[in-house]
Structure 1
């Protein structure tokens, strides 16, 4: 057993000379001695018996968010409970860098789908950046248990503690504990600053905004990718493809829609001034491309047996694009409209995959039909109807108006936990926070227009007394949005591989927060090696030899939507 005096001495070494190695302090005993037991105002009690410390050396990780790295770290985990709540256990995990790599930083990383963490998809970026890097299990049981598994205590009985933890509270606690653990671990004095950061995409992007909107001074900088904002609207909208197809009376084979996507990419590729397989100006594509031009084009896809146990097989698909298929593609791209012609929501940009309109083959009937295996049907069955089901039985009697009303119902029910659209970020700006917001232009899951709509909601809420240009300039002080040409959902796109993905976003926000170096453009791994800051858009001239970021009012307006189907503001 190491004596208390020796632990204190070791902590001083870690914090000053930093001459010790990972193996010197990567022990449960030392980790226990530096737990964040200070009163942090969280109302939690740490379980000192739960502490573990595991050494990892030369561990290799790969992600589009940071590339491929080999890192050393100490993984410290412990549990805590909320005072006054019975049978409550939350687990947190922190990757701690070697002392000589520590740069007085802490990083939280988020999840995806209904997972509150993404494991190693993001967390190693903290070690790369000289930070302690944390994840949480939200109190759901373990790091692999997702929110949907614990959301209902029984049919019709919501687990509200889990819901608020998933909505925002777990990440607040993770960061608060993590920052203090970092300070204790490396013996950083109270007079020295620990810079704190966050990175996440999709659900992880929403989690980041949940912190910005509620805990203004928690992070110095954040990277939020393709956030699942407007949670009820976004999840319900996953059903829009099937409802549109049902209204038209045609369920196109997936191969037909794939062919329309490929023809759209080919037609709109050069609208940015260079032919490179990337639709970098989907706004110009929306303004000029006519889906009717694809009618009659042949498509072919070989039969598939599904490949996995329980997965459905599909027959050979051989035909030509039909007027009905084009009608589906056009209506889907236009976005969901109600029976009065008013806008309910938006869908992905032209050139994106028609993921939410992709049908499945019914072997019994020999027909194509809506695919109800996704998150949209689960959202309605479980989170609105409160039943332990993963899907709806069918879309019978479900119309666009039904989806609109479901969106409203979900917003009312989860406004204070999951919706995450508070537009006044004045406290965050006043605290000196910086946020880099990225979104793939060809995102087929969360439309890129969703992020632009939130950006404009913030701009209009905070700077309604300024001109457009002045309001953009004011936003630039703390909030910058980048649309990734050809980018898919939280990563690169196999249909437009030249689009790449920005792999140094966290490093960029660190430079901004710590040195005041604001990113005018963002580095990208694709053929377009820099990304333009919204509302500027990419444009090549001189036969594709010169690149500019330009402003185009018509293009910008094509991204602007008014959700007039609702009688309340949709931020």
Structure 2
């Protein structure tokens, strides 16, 4: 019996532009070959920090419409979704697709240089692994929220749909189609990996597009975008409303945060330098004489001491947004639990997290405000550009930073408005707990989140996983395909999220979860007994077990810096 002829593979040249037309909205805009050792740039000059191709690669840049028409120069005008697909030489291809998520926040930006991508880089992934790898600009360029508002002041719904989910789905579809065209055969397996906004996208892919990937690694996700971003403004509003706009100094913030760590980090008789059991930490700076100024009845006589009002403000940042700017006593509720009520709208950060490294903990006070995208979300929720930071541009008005004049009640109203407008925001919330279709097709999902994430509170991930357990029949059913690891001390894309520079917590190593999910998909090896190590470049030998939630690492005996001194077990107390 004759075998069917093998489809002819495409060459890495401009013939792809006419040969690859999977639909009327997709256009190839650039094809460029790279030889091993070439600088990974497209048109700009290389620098000493520019990565080079680890092996021969072919870059194919796509635009997928329809985009969002409008006047030239308007932030919301877009030709469509930009996708970069990096294809290894046929002899080097491992038969996989390993697509990667974006840079975080509103993502976007100029998608023309691989050196601009912060993590993980598609070209580096393709060159080092031999897998086809793609990334996308999500369909817009500005990163501060300006893209989300049309020139008439209404929300740019097509762009919100692209950002919320469509861009990632199109990247999966187009990468698969181009892979088959380029090599003459389809990929054996497809994987996705992303963090932060890329983490949210990974969750959304499993929820809405279960057939796109066989395995997903999605970390540090902002699953409830409107809630999280508005809650980020709250931390800065506490400074405005309670402290007259005068932020604590870095030293004051470190004093309070490190006092919290010292009060809660003892394991096996040793101070670890980071908190292992954050839910059990009820430290209250307003009752700690060691941080309070002598004039406040404390014992701290240094210039870095804090007033009782400042200590209470920090506790509000730890607790999270409420409708009236209040916070209960930490002894009653430390904010670490995932449950919310009508007054407590969203989460704050864990005690000990670096406050001044927290995104927008002092919005408007630091130049590192990342173009003001969190205040931009509040402006979009209320359709009032003046509330945003000055980088926000729109024909109806530009950002003036007027969020600083909002009351707690007004911010809570913006929070509620953002939730109500989710359909207009492209159904941005990525918190559907029904993953049954992804499970049924054999998909596997791994995720981790740091307890000391400075940007996205870990409770959002906990809340979602609890809802999946409830929806899908219990822990055992969920962990048969989806596992979440909560990592003490870890920050947001930073090895140490705490205020203690000497804290060196064990972390997932680069590629560790990806290898685990590949083995789970392709060999049926379920992740068990996962061990985390201190970063290789830290000079410290320390390990800890990665416990699949809802279990936590529980000390048994021995050296608390060694994983074998712990067991994974259910917590002995409630978070609240």
TM-score (norm. length: structure 2): 0.76
Query: Of the candidates 80, 96, 100, which is equivalent to residue 91 of structure 2?
Result: 100
1:46 paired residue number = 26
Label 1:73 to 1:208 Cα distance change in 2 as closer, same or farther (>3 A). Answer: farther
Query: Of the candidates 105, 110, 116, which is equivalent to residue 113 of structure 1?
Result: 105
1:531 paired residue number = 546
1:163 paired residue number = 160
What secondary structure, in the 3-state scheme, does the structure 2 residue paired with 1:457 have? helix
After the TM superposition, list the runs of 4 or more consecutive aligned residues in structure 1 that deviate by more than 6 angstroms. Answer: 83-87
Task: Please report how far the alpha carbon of residue 406 of structure 1 lies from its aligned counterpart in structure 2 after TM superposition.
Answer: 1.4
Task: Please report how far the alpha carbon of residue 139 of structure 1 lies from its aligned counterpart in structure 2 after TM superposition.
Answer: 3.3
Query: Of the candidates 316, 321, 325, which is equivalent to residue 306 of structure 2?
Result: 321
For residues 133-173 of structure 1, the C-alpha deviation after alignment (integer angstroms, 9 at most, x for no partner) is 001223336xxx54734222214132221111111111111
Confirm or deny that 1:516 pairs with 2:524: yes
Task: Please report how far the alpha carbon of residue 120 of structure 1 lies from its aligned counterpart in structure 2 after TM superposition.
Answer: 5.6
Counterpart CA distance in 1 for 2:159 and 2:237 is 31
Q: How does 1:228-267 map to 2 (within 5 A)?
A: 228-246=222-240, 248-249=242-243, 251-254=246-249, 255-267=251-263
Label 1:413 to 1:498 Cα distance change in 2 as closer, same or farther (>3 A). Answer: same
Counterpart CA distance in 2 for 1:429 and 1:187 is 29
For residues 351-410 of structure 1, the C-alpha deviation after alignment (integer angstroms, 9 at most, x for no partner) is 112236744898xxxxx9xx99743322112443252344632433411x3333212211
Q: Is the 8 A contact 2:67 2:80 kept in 1?
A: no
For residues 416-441 of structure 1, the C-alpha deviation after alignment (integer angstroms, 9 at most, x for no partner) is 43122112111111121111111111
What secondary structure, in the 3-state scheme, does the structure 2 residue paired with 1:57 have? coil
For residues 257-285 of structure 1, the C-alpha deviation after alignment (integer angstroms, 9 at most, x for no partner) is 12111222233222476533232222222
Label 1:337 to 1:137 Cα distance change in 2 as closer, same or farther (>3 A). Answer: closer
Confirm or deny that 1:379 pairs with 2:380: no
Task: Please report how far the alpha carbon of residue 129 of structure 1 lies from its aligned counterpart in structure 2 after TM superposition.
Answer: 3.7
Query: Of the candidates 363, 373, 398, which is equivalent to residue 407 of structure 2?
Result: 398
Confirm or deny that 1:486 pairs with 2:513: no
* Number of matched pairs: 487
Q: Is the 8 A contact 1:271 1:281 kept in 2?
A: no
Label 1:249 to 1:119 Cα distance change in 2 as closer, same or farther (>3 A). Answer: closer
Label 1:378 to 1:76 Cα distance change in 2 as closer, same or farther (>3 A). Answer: same
Residue range with higher mean Cα deviation, 172-181 or 545-554: 545-554
Counterpart CA distance in 1 for 2:94 and 2:208 is 27
Label 1:84 to 1:296 Cα distance change in 2 as closer, same or farther (>3 A). Answer: closer
Counterpart CA distance in 1 for 2:25 and 2:362 is 49
Counterpart CA distance in 1 for 2:513 and 2:168 is 20
Label 1:126 to 1:372 Cα distance change in 2 as closer, same or farther (>3 A). Answer: closer
Task: Please report how far the alpha carbon of residue 519 of structure 1 lies from its aligned counterpart in structure 2 after TM superposition.
Answer: 1.3
1:310 paired residue number = none
Query: Of the candidates 276, 285, 304, which is equivalent to residue 291 of structure 1?
Result: 285
What secondary structure, in the 3-state scheme, does the structure 2 residue paired with 1:241 have? helix
2:565 paired residue number = 547
Label 1:84 to 1:378 Cα distance change in 2 as closer, same or farther (>3 A). Answer: closer
Residue range with higher mean Cα deviation, 371-380 or 95-104: 371-380
Query: Of the candidates 220, 227, 233, which is equivalent to residue 221 of structure 2?
Result: 227
Q: How does 1:64-75 map to 2 (within 5 A)?
A: 71-75=54-58
Query: Of the candidates 441, 465, 477, which is equivalent to residue 455 of structure 1?
Result: 465
1:79 paired residue number = 62
TM-score (norm. length: structure 1): 0.76
Q: Is the 8 A contact 1:157 1:386 kept in 2?
A: no
Confirm or deny that 1:214 pairs with 2:230: no
Query: Of the candidates 423, 428, 448, which is equivalent to residue 418 of structure 1?
Result: 428
Q: Is the 8 A contact 2:381 2:414 kept in 1?
A: no
What secondary structure, in the 3-state scheme, does the structure 2 residue paired with 1:498 have? coil
Counterpart CA distance in 2 for 1:457 and 1:391 is 39
For residues 316-344 of structure 1, the C-alpha deviation after alignment (integer angstroms, 9 at most, x for no partner) is x9331322222122222222233498321
Query: Of the candidates 167, 175, 181, which is equivalent to residue 178 of structure 1?
Result: 175
Q: Is the 8 A contact 2:226 2:419 kept in 1?
A: yes
Label 1:442 to 1:380 Cα distance change in 2 as closer, same or farther (>3 A). Answer: same
Confirm or deny that 1:501 pairs with 2:472: no
What secondary structure, in the 3-state scheme, does the structure 2 residue paired with 1:337 have? coil
Counterpart CA distance in 2 for 1:496 and 1:483 is 20
Q: How does 1:17-36 map to 2 (within 5 A)?
A: 25-29=11-15, 31-32=16-17, 35=20
For residues 110-142 of structure 1, the C-alpha deviation after alignment (integer angstroms, 9 at most, x for no partner) is 11111148726212335444310001223336x
Confirm or deny that 1:140 pairs with 2:153: no
Unaligned stretches of 5+ in structure 2?
A: 41-50, 70-77, 294-301, 328-342, 386-393, 535-541
What secondary structure, in the 3-state scheme, does the structure 1 residue paired with 2:402 have? coil
Q: Is the 8 A contact 1:57 1:73 kept in 2?
A: yes
Label 1:430 to 1:44 Cα distance change in 2 as closer, same or farther (>3 A). Answer: farther
Counterpart CA distance in 2 for 1:71 and 1:256 is 46
Counterpart CA distance in 2 for 1:290 and 1:138 is 42
Q: Is the 8 A contact 1:26 1:54 kept in 2?
A: yes
Counterpart CA distance in 2 for 1:451 and 1:252 is 29
Label 1:320 to 1:91 Cα distance change in 2 as closer, same or farther (>3 A). Answer: closer
Residue range with higher mean Cα deviation, 439-448 or 246-255: 246-255
Label 1:434 to 1:77 Cα distance change in 2 as closer, same or farther (>3 A). Answer: same
Counterpart CA distance in 2 for 1:60 and 1:419 is 38
Task: Please report how far the alpha carbon of residue 46 of structure 1 lies from its aligned counterpart in structure 2 after TM superposition.
Answer: 3.3
